[in-house]
Amino acid sequence: MRLRNWLFHNFREVSRLFAFEEIDFPVLESEALFVRKAGEEITQQLYNFEDKGGRRVALRPELTPSLARLVLQKGKALSFPLKWFTIGQCWRYERMTRGRRREHYQWNMDIIGVPGIEAEAELLSALVTFFKNMGITSNDVGIKISNRKVLQAVLSRHNVPDDSFAAVCVIVDKIEKLPQDEIKKELSMLGVTIEAVNGILDALSIRSLDELEDLIGPESGAVADLKQLLNLANAYGYDDWVHFDASIVRGLAYYTGTVFEGFDKEGRLRAICGGGRYDRLLATFGGPETPACGFGFGDAVILELLKEKGIIPSLRLEADYIVIALEDHLRQPASTIAARLRSTGHVVDLVLENKRLKWAFRQAERLNAKRMILVGSSEWEKGTVRVKDLSSGDECDVTLDDLVTQQNYKVS
């Protein structure tokens, strides 16, 4: 929990710096919100079931559809653009592997209502800020960016119908995970010709914007968008983190424009985070066409990476005092002391049972307590307790009032 809280605190701090507002959605949603026809892994691995009232429901596999629903629900009560973030638990029904659990958390940041590439640039800046805050450099992590319009231009050149687009993207996204023959087979099952498949594979191997421009020309706007995004990256100061890579498609059906993916440069882990523009998602739920983009950032892969790099802080327990009554009849004064120290903001572990002093010292060590308060008969008869500084071993007898006000005594 200390590790998770630390990670989430860092997610929140970055979101706050960018003036994003925190939102939350239900964990259990209507299944229909997540079911799409494009053959996405996320839909295939849905943790869905029928509830006692006969409703088809699902433990959410991702957060974006709930966000879209909320935006539609709130409608005109919202003031656009929205800059929202959320940290939420998501589920998949699947066997567990490294960095991929049945239950995980995702940090999402989304900008709703901004059509320009400035939105993507802002989101990428948030990602880079987070990585930097973690102590990660651009030697460790990069962000590959591309645009789905690239693939769209290639498909349209090969006369692949528009309504296959999402399904093609989902297949193409698996290009590094599946053998090329398998990719070709799946694409041809969608009616994509061998010639088109080869055209797609050629396009995906492109890593330079000039080469891309030669291939698809300026009509789609993809090249212009990517150039502008790289210029903004330069203005923000994170150009060393991002580069164009046409092989990035992302596996979610609803992306329409820019797509991006954070990866470890050693290439040993799954994608750290991913996102893109999804200008038509709200329309698919019956709302108006609404420009939108965002990213999802899981808690699993980043923790793997941070552990490998050895850059997780110690996150140890902390306590100011441990208070122990040396005899049973001194439990009441010990309670009084604990209560008074806590009332002035001190973290106090009160020993609630008969424990030996040796145990109390071990407990103090476990909690990294700074001081021990020993409530003994002979001191208490004089109205004092013994205060022991646990790093120096110094000790002295102090009245309760002096203890609480931290006056008239000194141990160090």
Residues that bind its own copies (CB under 8 A): 1-2, 4-5, 16-19, 21-24, 26-28, 47-52, 59, 79, 81, 83, 89, 91, 93, 103, 111, 114-116, 118-119, 121-122, 125, 129, 231-232, 234-238, 317, 319, 322, 331-333, 335-336, 338-340, 342-343, 345-350, 352-353, 363, 366-367
| Shortest separation between residue 114's beta carbon and its own copies, angstroms | 5
Nearer to its own copies, 26 or 217 (CB): 26
Whose tokens are 């239950």? That residue is 103
Q: Classify residue 238 as exposed, middle or buried by CB count within 10 Å of its CB (0-12, 13-18, 19+).
A: buried
Q: C-beta of 22: minimal distance to its own copies in Å?
A: 4
As measured in angstroms, the least distance from the Cβ of 296 to its own copies is 18
Sheet holding 47-50, edge to edge: 28-30, 56-59, 47-50
Pick 93 or 190: Cβ nearer its own copies: 93
Cβ at position 60, least distance to its own copies in Å: 11
Q: Phi and psi of 215, rounded to 5°?
A: -75, -50
User: Of 22 and 401, which CB lies nearer to its own copies in the complex structure?
Assistant: 22
Collect all residues with Cβ–Cβ distance below 8 Å to 340 and sequence separation of at least 6. Answer: 400, 403, 404
- The dihedral region occupied by 388, where left means phi > 0, alpha psi between -120 and 50, and beta the remainder, is beta
Contacts of 214 by beta carbon, 8 Å cutoff, 6+ apart: none
CB of residue 309 to its own copies, shortest distance in Å = 22
End-to-end CA separation in angstroms for the chain: 32
R_g (Cα) of the chain, nearest Å: 28
Least CB distance to its own copies at residue 141 (A): 18
Of the pair 86, 146, the CB lying nearest its own copies is at 86
Q: Which is nearer to its own copies, 26 or 161 (CB)?
A: 26
For residues 24 and 78, what is the distance between their CA atoms, to the nearest angstrom?
15
Nearer to its own copies, 49 or 185 (CB): 49
